[in-house]
Structures are given as C-alpha cells and as structure tokens.
Amino acid sequence: MRLQIAAANWKMNATLEEAKSLLSKLAEFDSSTLPNHHKVIVSVPFPYLMLAKEYLGKKHGFMVAAQNCYNQPKGAFTGEVSALMLSSINVDAVLIGHSERREYFSESNEMLAQKVNIALENELTPVFCCGEPLSIREANTQNEYVAKQLKESLYHLSPEQLMQVVIAYEPIWAIGTGRTASDEQAQEMHAFIRAELAKQYGQELANEISILYGGSVKGSNSIGLFSQPDVDGGLVGGASLNADEFIQIIQSLS
C-alpha cells in the first residue's frame, strides 16, 4: 500500500519563537494511532532543522525535511547547503524543485535532476515538485508541461531509485492564491502523472509512488482532495503554519 503523506512547507516563515511554538504543538499531537501508511513531513527553514529533529525526530510517523539543497557535494559555494550536511544532522527528506525555486532562483530541470541524485546518494527522500503556471493551464497544455518536468528530472533514475522519490504536483496558479484545483482537476493530473510513470517504469512501480497535491490545501478541502484515488496526500504551505489546521489536514489522510 503506497504511503499517504501530509507534508508541511513553512517556506520562509517563522521566527525562532514561532517555530518553537509550532513544533511544540505538533509534538503534542498524539500520532501513535497513525496507521503505518500515513506519514507526516515537516519542511522547515534551515536554521530550525535541528530543532525540528529535537521536537519531532522520535515521533511516530513524522519526518523532518529541508526545503532545498545544492546540486554539488561540497566546496566553495558560499551560502549553499549540501545534501551531506542535511543527512549528517539526520534530516529525512528534502523538497526539490519547488516552483518558487524554479521561478526565483532559475532552477532548471537539469539542475533538479542533479539535486535528486545528490539527495538520493545521501539517503534523503526527495519530494520532487512539479506543476504548471496559469498560462499553460489556460492553453490546456499542462499534461505536456508536467510530462517534460518528470522526464528531464526523474527518468534517468533506476526503478529502485525512483521508488525512493515522492512527487508533489503543485499547479502554480493554486499556490498561495486560495484558488485550489478542484478535486477532479487534481485527480485528473495525478492519474496522468501515474500513467506517465507507468509508461516509463511499469504499472506496478507507478502504483507504489506517492503523488501529493499542493496549492491552497486547507482543513476545509483536504478530505475531498485526499479521497481522490490518485491523490496520496498534500504539500501544504500557508495552512501548515497553523498547528491545529495542519493536524486537521493530517487527520484527513485516507
């Protein structure tokens, strides 16, 4: 049974005090009854990673993630953070290719392929983000657009490597806009992504990959989205900054 995942992406939010408050509320949540196929990933800014491990590291079903890593192993790259550094502090996962990284930091599909590789080499779970801008959705070419992102950043992986990857589909027009994809739009794209993976890697493997939806996921829409057959949870921005709402989202995993 493939994993159903509620993933928080705090983005560039929270002071230390706010981070402590959020993490302690998550730590108080009784996760002991989460079934083994339900997981929670909390992606925090770099300065709070070790703190997040302290609060959540031993918590049943919880994983801590970084929001980025560099595509080179080490060296003279001032200001960057390596996958090795993340694994050396026992971080579990890393977001790769969030649309904000692609847009504001010019991360190409090729660079993201390198980041996926280096994450896997360091035993970090890559949460690979894909998704189209509004203009592409309006031109109804989103399938081709997302297929290219998958092909250029993931299809060099062996089946064993791909099995370690979590995919997050985040239509850019739904991020931070309050304009969520409808349950049907999410399901349609997730089924397309799974079919593309099946073409490349076979249906059996495609059935094992978790595909998360991201873009204005809230406590009020998560049940509808997560109950779609190919939607395996969500990558949550704004709503994950409220512990009670994020816990509600965790509890709506199907």
> Site residues for ligand 13P, window 25-84 (CB under 6 A)?
none
Is residue 214 part of the contact set for ligand 13P (CB under 6 A)? yes
Phi, psi of 101 (to 5 degrees): -70, -45
Is residue 236 part of the contact set for ligand 13P (CB under 6 A)? yes
Structure tokens at 103: 């847009």
Question: Which one of the listed residues 98, 100, 107, 190 is annotated catalytic?
Answer: 98
Q: Which residues contact 61 (CB under 8 A, 6 or more apart)?
A: 31, 34, 36, 38, 39, 40
* Residue at shortest CB range from ligand 13P: 237
156 noted as active-site residue = no
Q: Are 103 and 90 in contact (CB under 8 A)?
A: no
Distance of closest approach, residue 215 Cβ to ligand 13P, in angstroms: 5
Question: Which one of the listed residues 107, 132, 170, 245 is annotated catalytic?
Answer: 170
Rounded Cα distance between 166 and 56, Å, is 20
- Residue 154 vs 212, nearer CB to ligand 13P: 212
> Residues, the chain, total?
254
3-state secondary structure 136-188: HHHCCCHHHHHHHHHHHHHCCCCHHHHCCCEEEECCHHHCCCCCCCCHHHHHH
Is residue 131 part of the contact set for ligand 13P (CB under 6 A)? no
Is residue 237 part of the contact set for ligand 13P (CB under 6 A)? yes
Residue span binding ligand 13P (CB under 6 A) among the ranges 69-77, 205-213, 215-223, 244-252: 215-223
Is residue 97 part of the contact set for ligand 13P (CB under 6 A)? no
Residues of the shown chain interacting with ligand 13P in the complex, contacts defined by CB under 6 A: 9, 98, 170, 175-176, 214-217, 235-239
Residues catalogued as catalytic = 98, 170
